[in-house]
Amino acid sequence: DAMVIQNPRYQVTQFGKPVTLSCSQTLNHNVMYWYQQKSSQAPKLLFHYYDKDFNNEADTPDNFQSRRPNTSFCFLDIRSPGLGDAAMYLCATSRGLAGAYEQYFGPGTRLTVT
């Protein structure tokens, strides 16, 4: 049974055209994360929600925003995608803080910017 679901799996957008990536979970976890993974690199944390509290990493560009309307769903909005934003975007969830609980990852959304 799928626990962390990401839609779509592949997304193509045009340079500068806003795009939204979706993540949902059936685990009822408190924390949801968004990571960016570029080719041959490790995933890099963009931000996370602990319940409704939003935590942005210091070096995450303003171009990236997130929404969590309820426990199950979390969205990643890229306001004006640039060519450098092409990457795999991974959503993850955990019961609590990352140092104490494992994260469960979705299959990822591969974003292409043309």
Applying CB under 8 A, the residues found at the interface with other proteins are: 4, 6, 31, 33, 41-45, 48, 50, 55, 57, 88, 90, 92, 97-100, 102-108, 110
β pairing state of 87-94 and 104-105: antiparallel
Give me the least distance between CB of 39 and other proteins, in Å please: 10
Biggest CA pair distance of the chain: 40
Nearer to other proteins, 57 or 77 (CB): 57
Give me the least distance between CB of 40 and other proteins, in Å please: 8
Give me the least distance between CB of 4 and other proteins, in Å please: 8
Give me the least distance between CB of 52 and other proteins, in Å please: 15
Alpha-carbon distances, residue 45 vs 2, 16, 57, 98, 99 (angstroms): 22, 23, 7, 11, 14
12, two tokens: 């193509």
Rounded to the nearest 5 degrees, what angle is found at the Cα of 24, between the Cα atoms of 21 and 27? 155
